[in-house]
Chain A
């Protein structure tokens, strides 16, 4: 079975340019997460979806970041305009367990999208 698929793996852009990341979770996984991970740090949540509903976007910088999961399957994370501080790895993860599991489910991560903003 295919794992979580993310694209692109690497992206280099100049500041103020837009960028988008795509994630296809494991089939049947209703919960989808987007995380940002800086070098030497643990992942930080940007947004969590239960099906197509964004149930936790409190850490998403909404002035420049947006995300969607229109059909409750794949998801897109967009940054516009990008800033130097956005350079990081953007990780997508999915879980077969929903909110009632209280976060106890295993997260399955993609390989990540490494963004470099010049």
Chain B
């Protein structure tokens, strides 16, 4: 069964501190992993996509890595800001075998990050 596990479930950090969010997956076959940020009361927004060939990506204070051998991805946030407070969700697609082009998206439960002043 395809699974995506995220840790920690929740995290509280002081503004300006760094943090790392983890995503472990057991999805086969694997092609990519995407991180979404979901602000409270809003829909998720894509942060980045990780693939075998693009296994380290940085976007400002956010750096995502992928280790396909251990089936783990990390999202590192440096110099956190209050606006980083959100849920971060990891999503992995996998091909289904019920028909051509069939697939499923497996969502993690998310990590709820709270940045406090």
Contact = CB atoms under 8 A, between A and B. Distances in A.
Interface of A: 4, 40-45, 55-56, 91, 93, 98-100, 102-104, 106-107, 109-112
B68 to A, nearest CB: 15
A55 B103 CA distance: 10
B102 A106 contact: no
Contacts of B102: 55-56, 99
Contacts of A42: 4, 89, 91, 107-110
B43 interface: yes
Interface residues of B, number: 29
A40 B111 CA distance: 9
A38 to B, nearest CB: 10
A contact face: mostly helix, strand, loop, or mixed? loop
A112 B43 contact: yes
A44 B41 CA distance: 17
A43 B101 contact: no
Contacts of A109: 43-45
B93 A103 contact: yes
A111 B105 CA distance: 20
Contacts of A93: 43
Interface of B: 4, 9, 31-32, 34, 36, 41-46, 49, 89, 91, 93-95, 100-105, 107-110, 112
Given A99-B102, A102-B103, A40 B109 contact: yes
A55 B109 CA distance: 24
B104 A111 contact: no
23 contacts: A40-B9, A40-B110, A42-B110, A45-B104, A45-B105, A91-B43, A93-B43, A98-B101, A99-B100, A99-B101, A102-B31, A102-B93, A102-B95, A102-B103, A103-B93, A103-B94, A104-B32, A104-B93, A106-B34, A107-B46, A107-B91, A109-B43, A111-B42
Contacts of A43: 44, 89, 107
Given A40-B9, A104-B93, 19 more contacts: A40-B109, A40-B112, A41-B109, A42-B110, A43-B44, A43-B107, A45-B105, A56-B102, A91-B44, A102-B31, A103-B93, A103-B95, A103-B103, A104-B31, A106-B46, A107-B44, A107-B91, A109-B45, A111-B41
